[in-house]
Amino acid sequence: MTDATLSAAPAAAPKPRASLLIADERTRKRNAAESRFRAYGLSAIGIALIALVVLLSSVLTDGIGAFRQTYLTLPVALDSARLDKNGNRDPEDIKKATTLTYGKLLDQAVQNTVAQQGIAIAGLTEKDVSDLVSKEASAQLRNRVIANPELIGQTVDARVLVNGRVDGYYKGRVSMDSAARDSNTSPAQLQLADALKDKGLLATQWNWSFLTNPDASDQRPEAAGVGVAILGSLYMMLVVLVLAVPIGVAASIYLEEFAPKNRLTDIIEVNISNLAAVPSIVFGILGLAAFINFAGLPQSAPIVGGLVLTLMTLPTIIIATRAALKAVPPSIRDAALGVGASKMQSVFHHVLPLAMPGILTGTIIGLAQALGETAPLLLIGMVAFVKNFPAAPPEGLFDPASALPVQVYNWTQRADPAFFERASGAIIVLLVFLLCMNILAIFLRRKFERRW
């Protein structure tokens, strides 16, 4: 601003010098060195920022689609001759109708809808029409009928998922050109979807089920969600919190406040620092040997994952807690002891509360680190396709579950490109969780921090 006004001023004469100081050679050199250093610093931060922006924007553009999903609403005639042959609405009989039967009913329903709406598209095959509906739809319809057998014989409105390619078309992943080359869809199918959209039967909506659904098999990316993975991660974090925090804090209080300073405690100290640097896969090997093969705990269970991650997080928590305890000034301890408190009273009544913000921060950062860990889970069977939700804790801790980073890893390996979008969506969920934990850590530190 000031530059602009200055240059706009009519003064053509040279500006008078503002300062009388004439910098000598050495001062100029020193100043130049400083400004060079500032430039290095700025460019370092700039590079980091650019990397962050590129990373975040690529993840966001790839993954935001996972939070929207295309649905088709259509009337389905639930033929009682097919679904309940004996006509007595016996739940056992109704269960005998498999998803294949329901798939056929849906086929019929979508063919009818297309005919009723008078949609005629050149080159549209019967397969294009029936493939429009996701294979997940038949399972959903079957569950709905089993839950409510009264529906048999009626015509119900069903809101069904459409297949991943058509869904991708509305998210920009699939185009008419790519559909022409694609063996799993065709331009005619996409035109059909467009026609149904014009009639108001097909819509792309916000997709809560991405957060609540379990994983789905390779044929139905549109139905896959991170529900089981979120629950599995939560269970593991619960185990880590319950085990690592008391053990870690107890260990560091003893080491910092009570233990004598000798060779042995020095060795323990060095070992703890070393453990913090051990690659996480090593803890996975240990977990397999100790918890599954020796202790006989089940495979793929969050309890084992939690135990392994506890071992991994302990050193981080111990180191952070010891640093927090060290930061409490000795005068606090001396004052407590001076008025007649026992050593234990001084620690638990005065030192520990003052060290709490540091301990909490360390714990949360340790948890965040554990949340993003995949390698140790590979060996204990958690990198798996898990469709059933684990039960509520404590029993649920022994049920198979997946974890968020594992879900990302699994989805990136799948053949259907729609899973790539899901993987990026899962990364976004993971990032949001990490962000929340870090914000909590900052908040707790700000709120309880004491300065001396």
Cα–Cα nearest to 196, from 264, 273, 270, 129: 129
DSSP state of 117: T
Q: Which stretch binds other proteins (CB under 8 A): 18-26, 63-71, 266-274, 395-403?
A: 395-403
Query: Does 331 sit near other proteins (CB under 8 A)?
Result: no
Total site size for other proteins, rule CB under 8 A: 53
Comparing CB distances to other proteins, the nearer of 65 and 306 is 306
Comparing CB distances to other proteins, the nearer of 1 and 100 is 100
- At its nearest, how many Å lie between other proteins and the CB of residue 274? 26
DSSP state of 348: I
> Distance between CA 133 and CA 374 in Å, rounded?
34
Q: Give the end-to-end CA distance of the chain in Å, rounded to a whole number.
A: 43
Alpha helices in 182-226 (DSSP H): 187-198, 209-212
Query: Does 381 sit near other proteins (CB under 8 A)?
Result: yes
- At its nearest, how many Å lie between other proteins and the CB of residue 11? 58
Cα–Cα nearest to 210, from 68, 71, 420, 72: 68
> Distance between CA 199 and CA 345 in Å, rounded?
74
> Distance between CA 112 and CA 155 in Å, rounded?
13
For other proteins, the binding residues in 96-125 under the rule CB under 8 A are: 98-100
Comparing CB distances to other proteins, the nearer of 110 and 303 is 303
> Distance between CA 287 and CA 377 in Å, rounded?
9
Comparing CB distances to other proteins, the nearer of 166 and 239 is 239
Among 384, 434, 437, 440, interactor with other proteins by CB under 8 A: 384
Q: Which stretch binds other proteins (CB under 8 A): 77-85, 94-102, 116-124, 428-436?
A: 94-102
Among 79, 112, 117, 298, interactor with other proteins by CB under 8 A: 298
Query: Partners of 350 in the beta sheet?
Result: none
Query: Does 429 sit near other proteins (CB under 8 A)?
Result: no
| Burial classification of residue 225, based on how many CB atoms lie within 10 Å of its CB (0-12 exposed, 13-18 middle, 19 or more buried) | buried
For other proteins, the binding residues in 173-232 under the rule CB under 8 A are: 174, 178-179, 181-184, 216-219
Comparing CB distances to other proteins, the nearer of 260 and 296 is 296
- At its nearest, how many Å lie between other proteins and the CB of residue 413? 5
Comparing CB distances to other proteins, the nearer of 67 and 389 is 389
Query: Does 297 sit near other proteins (CB under 8 A)?
Result: yes
Binding mask 24-63 for other proteins (x = CB under 8 A): ----------------------------------------
Query: Does 83 sit near other proteins (CB under 8 A)?
Result: no
Among 90, 387, 392, 436, interactor with other proteins by CB under 8 A: 387
- At its nearest, how many Å lie between other proteins and the CB of residue 345? 11
388's tokens:
């059933």
Element (H, E) at 430: helix 418-448
Among 84, 124, 135, 408, interactor with other proteins by CB under 8 A: 135
Q: Are strands 68-77 and 155-161 parallel, antiparallel or unpaired?
A: antiparallel
Comparing CB distances to other proteins, the nearer of 283 and 409 is 409
Cα–Cα nearest to 225, from 240, 235, 215: 215
DSSP collapsed to 3 states, 36-96 = HHHHHHHHHHHHHHHHHHHHHHHHHHHHHHHHEEEEEEEEEECCHHHHCCCCCCCHHHHHH
135's tokens:
């294979």
Angle at 423 between CA 67 and CA 419, to 5 degrees: 90
For other proteins, the binding residues in 346-375 under the rule CB under 8 A are: 348
Name residue, tokens 């993003």: 372
> Distance between CA 215 and CA 221 in Å, rounded?
9
Angle at 214 between CA 209 and CA 216, to 5 degrees: 100
Query: Does 412 sit near other proteins (CB under 8 A)?
Result: yes
Among 29, 36, 95, 159, interactor with other proteins by CB under 8 A: 95
3-state DSSP assignment of residue 202: strand
Comparing CB distances to other proteins, the nearer of 99 and 209 is 99
Query: Does 258 sit near other proteins (CB under 8 A)?
Result: no
> Distance between CA 381 and CA 303 in Å, rounded?
12
Among 299, 331, 342, 345, interactor with other proteins by CB under 8 A: 299
Query: Does 415 sit near other proteins (CB under 8 A)?
Result: yes
Query: Does 413 sit near other proteins (CB under 8 A)?
Result: yes
Binding site for other proteins (CB under 8 A): 95, 98-100, 135, 139, 142, 174, 178-179, 181-184, 216-219, 239, 242-243, 245-246, 250, 292-293, 296-300, 303, 348, 378, 381, 383-388, 394-395, 397-398, 400, 410, 412-417
